[in-house]
A and B are shown apart, each in its own frame.
Chain A
């Protein structure tokens, strides 16, 4: 863990407000307006949720996909810190940041989605250990705290030289506050490394628990779920797909960030992550396809229904094609094809979560069909934009990315 990484803030290299960042800010603003509307008119005013379709886009994308795509945080931590592959160190911090922000925004999306936002603390007091959702909520809550702990060294590193701002001209309480925060951070940076292994392993364990738990959520509604997705191994499929999407997500994010900040990307590391992904995605794909064959429901894929087609798209474009692509070294070692393969895998997991939570969900008495409203889409877009802005802000002011890594190596 002490392995040196050359992470540094980017604030001296680029402008914060790029055109892209301004677009993001606009999306956040529009999304926020719809959030305000939700708190004035209720969920019914901005969503197409109904008595027959209680869960919609926010659960399928913001929450379920968000949690899955944040898996890069625990898979890279496991690879670099538990399995001791320190060569992957440069991607650990950005993946950790993605995970941290991912979970923060999953929580915010949930806050908007639940009817009584102000009551979100109640599961901490009123426990129902029979409830899968309770387990997921507890794990997500603790894991979000663990992610903050894992990220603390980055904050401590940033302020290890003391706060740059001169506080002498401010009043003494401010100076005292700054000094105590500095003292705390110094204490943490001295001692955090000694206990960090607990947080790293706990992060992996908690991730395995709630990633699979999300898959168990719909097992309670066997009669409402389409058979292509309703399988007792749904938790295992959620876990293996989350593990498989972790590294492609790192590739995706690293490529975008490198382009956005005009940095050297970590192609060498990314190629090696892609090679591991062949195995991880292969395991998931084998389970996914083996499952429909073993249960004998595979003919439904070809019955011409929306569900059959949706399953085919999910597996073909999200698993089979990118897996085949990654087999070729020419794909793994070149930026664009590697990025495309990663996008397909990331997209495949999003389609899978939407399929499970929305497409496969067939209420017995559908009074109206569900298609996400403009409000739901705009708020989802706003959350994604806010996450990207927060990411940009963090790498701008904190040592997350290793912009000089390539030069240092050569």
Chain B
């Protein structure tokens, strides 16, 4: 035991030195994630949307979702604010912001809500098994075969999007907009909602092109649009982008930081666990303490007896 400890002390010292050396590298090694350059996305023009709910209907059909309680042509559902849930990937909400139309009537603004397909998604960073991932085509994809149902994605999502099948006892799934992953993987394919929109409020395309298009529209008609493309910078950027004729804060959009949500946690995790330097150093330190203090005590005990 004595010999072991002495040998160990030497090893411990060496490990500690190695740990200290590798520590300075961690700042650079913290995060290397790059969002996919060719991500697709959708640009929504809130000033065009008429709240017909055709996008909800198309979404329901192409994703084979259960039939809703009220039919899609029933516009009274707009009287209450709704959220996407485990049976609905997208909803349209109606807001009255005080603006009036040409006949001096209060004019509604309609906002389609669905997964924003973040460029640097918090859910994908959080997911314990990597069941959620950002695909090169821009979709934040859910792989049910990996999921264990911990619901950390729901905790992490800043937009409160992933929904859970709480009433399935054994095989519940996380449910959210897929950006019609299969459809857009085919040449010329569009998401169901973008395909059907009768007023072309939703434009599908390369995200980089959509940002340009959005800025062009704002520049062409600065009196009509708010000077902001929502989703260009929020939480590091999202694949769904919005332009609006009313302030975003008045129609249910949160003010979010530009820093991607996973930044802090991943910096901490990678800082501590690059080459396992922190745990190994702690192990060495404690081993050293054990060798020195334990021996001293043993010695004392021998003297006493």
Interface residues of A (CB under 8 A from B): 38-45, 47, 49-52, 54-55, 78, 81-86, 113-120, 122-123, 126-135, 137, 194, 197, 200-202, 204-206, 208-209, 216-224, 232, 235, 361, 363-365, 367
Please state if B261 and A221 are interface contacts (CB–CB under 8 Å): yes
Within 8 A of A (CB), among B284-305: 286-287, 289-290, 293-298, 301
Knowing A84-B293, A201-B283, A232-B264, say if A44 contacts B166 (CB, 8 Å).
Answer: yes
Please state if A51 and B85 are interface contacts (CB–CB under 8 Å): yes
Quote the shortest CB–CB distance from A37 to chain B (angstroms).
Answer: 9
Interfacial chain A residues near B272, Cβ < 8 Å: 209
Q: Give A127 to B133 CA distance when docked, in angstroms.
A: 13
Please state if A130 and B129 are interface contacts (CB–CB under 8 Å): no
Quote the shortest CB–CB distance from B122 to chain A (angstroms).
Answer: 5
Interfacial chain B residues near A83, Cβ < 8 Å: 289-290, 293
Quote the shortest CB–CB distance from A133 to chain B (angstroms).
Answer: 4
Question: 1/0 per residue B115-126: CB within 8 Å of A?
Answer: 000000010111
Add 9 more A-B contacts to A40-B169, A116-B172 (CB < 8 A).
Answer: A84-B294, A116-B148, A129-B273, A131-B152, A197-B287, A202-B283, A205-B286, A220-B126, A364-B160
Q: Give A156 to B163 CA distance when docked, in angstroms.
A: 49
Please state if A221 and B273 are interface contacts (CB–CB under 8 Å): no
Quote the shortest CB–CB distance from A40 to chain B (angstroms).
Answer: 6
Q: Give A200 to B283 CA distance when docked, in angstroms.
A: 10
B171 at the interface (CB under 8 A from A): yes
Please state if B128 and A116 are interface contacts (CB–CB under 8 Å): no
B216 at the interface (CB under 8 A from A): no
A sample of 19 inter-chain contacts (CB < 8 A) reads A39-B169, A47-B166, A51-B160, A82-B290, A114-B151, A126-B129, A128-B127, A130-B266, A131-B130, A133-B152, A137-B128, A197-B8, A202-B283, A205-B279, A220-B126, A220-B265, A364-B158, A365-B252, A367-B83
Knowing A82-B289, A133-B152, A135-B269, say if A223 contacts B283 (CB, 8 Å).
Answer: no
7 nearest A-B residue pairs (beta carbon): A115-B149, A44-B166, A84-B297, A54-B154, A128-B130, A54-B151, A126-B129
Please state if A133 and B150 are interface contacts (CB–CB under 8 Å): yes
Please state if A44 and B167 are interface contacts (CB–CB under 8 Å): yes
Quote the shortest CB–CB distance from A138 to chain B (angstroms).
Answer: 10
Please state if A51 and B86 are interface contacts (CB–CB under 8 Å): yes
Quote the shortest CB–CB distance from B291 to chain A (angstroms).
Answer: 9
Knowing A54-B151, A115-B151, A133-B150, say if A49 contacts B166 (CB, 8 Å).
Answer: yes
Interfacial chain B residues near A129, Cβ < 8 Å: 269, 273
Interfacial chain A residues near B266, Cβ < 8 Å: 130
B contacts with A, residue count (CB < 8 A):
65
Please state if A120 and B152 are interface contacts (CB–CB under 8 Å): no
Please state if A133 and B128 are interface contacts (CB–CB under 8 Å): yes
Q: Give A123 to B150 CA distance when docked, in angstroms.
A: 11
Please state if B172 and A115 are interface contacts (CB–CB under 8 Å): yes
Please state if A45 and B130 are interface contacts (CB–CB under 8 Å): no
Q: Give A122 to B149 CA distance when docked, in angstroms.
A: 11
Please state if B156 and A221 are interface contacts (CB–CB under 8 Å): yes
Please state if B287 and A201 are interface contacts (CB–CB under 8 Å): yes
Quote the shortest CB–CB distance from B224 to chain A (angstroms).
Answer: 28
Q: Give A235 to B267 CA distance when docked, in angstroms.
A: 13
Quote the shortest CB–CB distance from A125 to chain B (angstroms).
Answer: 8
Interfacial chain B residues near A78, Cβ < 8 Å: 286
Of A81, A128, A224, the residue contacting B128 (CB under 8 A) is A128
Quote the shortest CB–CB distance from A88 to chain B (angstroms).
Answer: 12
Quote the shortest CB–CB distance from A232 to chain B (angstroms).
Answer: 6
Of B1, B166, B265, the residue contacting A43 (CB under 8 A) is B166
**Interchain Cβ contacts within 8 Å, total number:** 197
B205 at the interface (CB under 8 A from A): no
Interfacial chain B residues near A52, Cβ < 8 Å: 83, 160
Interfacial chain A residues near B149, Cβ < 8 Å: 114-117, 119
Please state if B148 and A123 are interface contacts (CB–CB under 8 Å): yes
Please state if A42 and B273 are interface contacts (CB–CB under 8 Å): no
Of B151, B160, B172, the residue contacting A363 (CB under 8 A) is B160
Of A39, A119, A130, A216, the residue contacting B147 (CB under 8 A) is A119
Quote the shortest CB–CB distance from B2 to chain A (angstroms).
Answer: 12
Residue of B nearest to A130 (CB): B125
Q: Give A40 to B1 CA distance when docked, in angstroms.
A: 55
Q: Give A73 to B5 CA distance when docked, in angstroms.
A: 23
Interfacial chain A residues near B169, Cβ < 8 Å: 38-42, 45
Question: 1/0 per residue B265-277: CB within 8 Å of A?
Answer: 1101100110000
Within 8 A of A (CB), among B239-276: 252, 254, 256-257, 261-262, 264-266, 268-269, 272-273
Please state if B286 and A43 are interface contacts (CB–CB under 8 Å): no
Please state if A220 and B125 are interface contacts (CB–CB under 8 Å): yes
Residue of B nearest to A86 (CB): B297
Interfacial chain A residues near B269, Cβ < 8 Å: 129-130, 132, 135, 216
Interfacial chain A residues near B293, Cβ < 8 Å: 82-84
Interfacial chain A residues near B287, Cβ < 8 Å: 197, 201
Knowing A41-B167, A221-B158, A222-B257, say if A131 contacts B86 (CB, 8 Å).
Answer: no
Interfacial chain B residues near A122, Cβ < 8 Å: 129, 146, 148
Knowing A115-B172, A116-B172, say if A84 contacts B160 (CB, 8 Å).
Answer: no
Interfacial chain B residues near A114, Cβ < 8 Å: 148-151
B29 at the interface (CB under 8 A from A): no
Q: Give A45 to B257 CA distance when docked, in angstroms.
A: 37
B168 at the interface (CB under 8 A from A): yes
Knowing A51-B83, A123-B129, A221-B261, say if A81 contacts B294 (CB, 8 Å).
Answer: yes
Question: 1/0 per residue B129-153: CB within 8 Å of A?
Answer: 1110000000000000011111110
Interfacial chain B residues near A45, Cβ < 8 Å: 167, 169
Q: Give A219 to B122 CA distance when docked, in angstroms.
A: 11
Interfacial chain B residues near A54, Cβ < 8 Å: 151, 154-155, 164
Residue of A nearest to B81 (CB): A365
Quote the shortest CB–CB distance from B12 to chain A (angstroms).
Answer: 10
Q: Give A55 to B151 CA distance when docked, in angstroms.
A: 7
